[in-house]
């Protein structure tokens, strides 16, 4: 079964760093783009960026460029999203999603990682 499994919920203080993960299984991890999507509480979906694990080619949304870092370790089929200094406004659900082979859409989604930043 093709799936993406994300790391568990996090509660952090403002200013702390964080790295969340998304592990792919059931397919060739290096052959599909993985994207990250933010959903703030009660709000819509926002694309953050996308990475091709085969060569680590990474693209960022202008809104998130410089705010987060997307990376991947193909040896363990895992993509990452990290922050160096969290803010309260980073409180959100974060989804990873795999891009279709045949189209520019995300057909496989992780279950989401809830990040809460609060003092």
Partner 1 sequence: EIVLTQSPGTLSLSPGERATLSCRASQSVSSSYLAWYQQKPGQAPRLLIYGASSRATGIPDRFSGSGSGTDFTLTISRLEPEDFAVYYCQQYGSSSITFGQGTRLEIK
Binding site for partner 1 (CB under 8 A): 35, 37, 44-47, 50, 59, 61-62, 95, 97, 100, 102-107, 109-112
CB of 75 to partner 1, least distance (A): 26
Q: Which is nearer to partner 1, 5 or 11 (CB)?
A: 5
CB of 96 to partner 1, least distance (A): 10
Spell out a b/e string for 74-90, using b for 16 or more CB atoms within 10 Å of the CB, else e.
Answer: beebbbbbebeebeeeb
CB of 118 to partner 1, least distance (A): 21
């Amino acid at each position: 079964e093709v799936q993406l499994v994300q790391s568990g919920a996090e509660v952090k203080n403002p200013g702390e760093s964080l790295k969340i993960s998304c592990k792919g299984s059931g397919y060739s991890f290096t052959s599909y783009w993985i994207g990250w999507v933010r959903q703030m509480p009660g709000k819509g979906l926002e694309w953050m960026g996308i990475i091709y694990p085969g060569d680590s080619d990474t693209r960022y949304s202008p809104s998130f460029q410089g705010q987060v870092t997307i990376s991947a370790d193909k040896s363990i089929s895992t993509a990452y999203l990290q922050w160096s200094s969290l803010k309260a406004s980073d409180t959100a659900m974060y989804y990873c999603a795999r891009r279709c082979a045949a189209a520019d859409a995300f057909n496989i989604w992780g279950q989401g990682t809830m990040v809460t930043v609060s003092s």
